[in-house]
Amino acid sequence: MAEVKTEITINAPAKEVYLFSKEVDKFPEFMPDMKSIEILEKKPFDGGTEYLSRWVGSIQKFNLTVKWEEIDRWDDRSLVCEFYMPEGRGDYEVYKGVWKFADNGDGTTLVTLSLEVEYNVPMVGGLIKKLIAKLVKENADGMLEAIKKQMEKV
């Protein structure tokens, strides 16, 4: 299983970055690896919103399309989103993680993304699993960079 943690500082208030990031269905507009994201259902929970969404991404290096559904629990009080793929609802064996949006006290936000991903390919060795971990890290870094670029547009 690939476990990845990445973070970035964005020159914008935490609440604004959080609210922007919560609009996941707009990610394909500025993230080239995301082909589509469709929100299938939104429902409130204590302090936030839970989404069920369908994601279609691409791994361009391998001309591969990856599909999954995920549940996101956006907690508006703590500025945290926990997410996971329900069992059997996509190409991953395991897909889950947490986004955190922390106010640095100077008008900037530290965004942390932690992911656990297992993409099972039958009869692959450790080398391929390391490659998958590297690709997951590159994708997570790219997502945060894309959000930073959008938030810091002048």
**Which domains are seen in the chain, by residue range?**
2-151 (3.30.530.20)
The whole-number average pLDDT for the span 36-65 is: 91
Pairwise CA distance, residues 67 & 56, whole Å? 5
Helix (H) or strand (E) segment spanning residue 92: none
| Nearest Cα to Cα of residue 81 among 114, 104, 108, 54 | 114
The whole-number average pLDDT for the span 123-145 is: 78
Lowest model confidence (mean pLDDT) among 48-62, 99-113, 119-133: 119-133
The whole-number average pLDDT for the span 49-63 is: 89
Paired strand residues for 71: 52, 84
The whole-number average pLDDT for the span 21-50 is: 95
Question: Pairing relation of β-strands 109-118 and 2-10?
Answer: antiparallel
